[in-house]
Structure 1
Amino acid sequence: MQFFIDHCVPESVSKALEAEGRVVIRLRTKTAPDSPDTLVAAVAEANNAVLITMDGDFKAIAARTGIGQRRYRKLSLIRFEKCRESQAASRLLTAISLIDHEWKAGNGTRDRRMFVVITPESIRTHR
């Protein structure tokens, strides 16, 4: 599993994942930081990477029904909600074993997408 880091996610998240030996793709290496959310989702999906964001708009973009004519059939999403930037890396590392489990559990299923929401008080998964 590799991770695609949105521009709004603090660099500490990328560094924490890399320290764990994870593959990290930063948005700025693939497209402009001010790219529309739909392009960010498409680039993450094209790179077969789990999108990590703090942007609440991705909840609708990654929905199973999709937006408009575009449906992201392979887009997995980890979204920080109400999480301060200073908490993001530690909260993600707290959730990483659950994320690994969810990724493995979805492997081989028809809709393997994974949706994880990380808040200061909880970690939720949606299938």
Structure 2
Amino acid sequence: MSLRFFIDQCVPNSIIQTLHDAGHEVLVLGDYIPIESPDIAVIAKAQELHAILVSLNGDFADIVTYPPSAYQGIISIQLRNHPEIIAQLMARLTEYLSLHDSGEYYRGKLLIVEVYRIRVRE
């Protein structure tokens, strides 16, 4: 089953392409709102589009500011200025997505994607 993702402006094209190649619907921020939009507008647009937000922006991993229960789903990719780990991160994420292929699964969850693990916060 295909998932629907709303991709923040900070996400590299290689991540976008990997999600697309895995058969998911990928909606890119710049096609919907200005790229300099504030975080609250970004997550609101993801909600409006019924999409899981994918971002490198660490602000979205703050469960106090963005409590997962209030959103369709948030995936925070922990790249930390190391583009050489994108392939490893995406291998881990695409494997996880294939095991959990229902959009409903992600509702109310924050996934923090790291090279060696994916942490799920609710």
AA of the residue aligned to 1:115: L
The alpha-carbon deviation at position 98 of structure 1 amounts to 2.1
The alpha-carbon deviation at position 28 of structure 1 amounts to 0.4
Relative to structure 1, is the Cα distance of residues 100 and 63 closer, same or farther in structure 2, using a 3 angstrom cutoff?
farther
TM-score (norm 1): 0.77
Q: Is the 8 A contact 2:57 2:76 kept in 1?
A: yes
In 2: Cα distance, 1:11 partner to 1:82 partner: 14
In 2: Cα distance, 1:89 partner to 1:39 partner: 29
Q: Which residue of 1 aligns with 2:55?
A: 53
TM-score (norm 2): 0.80
Question: SS where residue 9 of structure 1 aligns?
Answer: coil
Q: Is the 8 A contact 2:8 2:53 kept in 1?
A: yes
Q: Which residue of 1 aligns with 2:77?
A: 80
- CA RMSD of superposed structures (Å): 2.4
The alpha-carbon deviation at position 89 of structure 1 amounts to 4.8
Q: How does 1:22-101 map to 2 (within 5 A)?
A: 22-60=24-62, 61-64=65-68, 73-83=70-80, 84-101=82-99
Question: SS where residue 88 of structure 1 aligns?
Answer: helix
Task: Using the TM superposition, name which of 20-29 and 96-105 deviates more.
Answer: 96-105
Q: Which residue of 2 aligns with 1:18?
A: 20
The alpha-carbon deviation at position 88 of structure 1 amounts to 2.8
Unaligned runs of 5+ in 1: 65-71
In 1: Cα distance, 2:52 partner to 2:87 partner: 16
Q: Which residue of 1 aligns with 2:116?
A: 121
- How many residues are matched? 117
Q: Which has the higher relative contact order, 1 or 2, with Cα contacts under 8 A spaced 6 or more apart?
A: 2
The alpha-carbon deviation at position 47 of structure 1 amounts to 0.5
Question: SS where residue 44 of structure 1 aligns?
Answer: helix
Percentage identity across paired residues of the two chains: 24
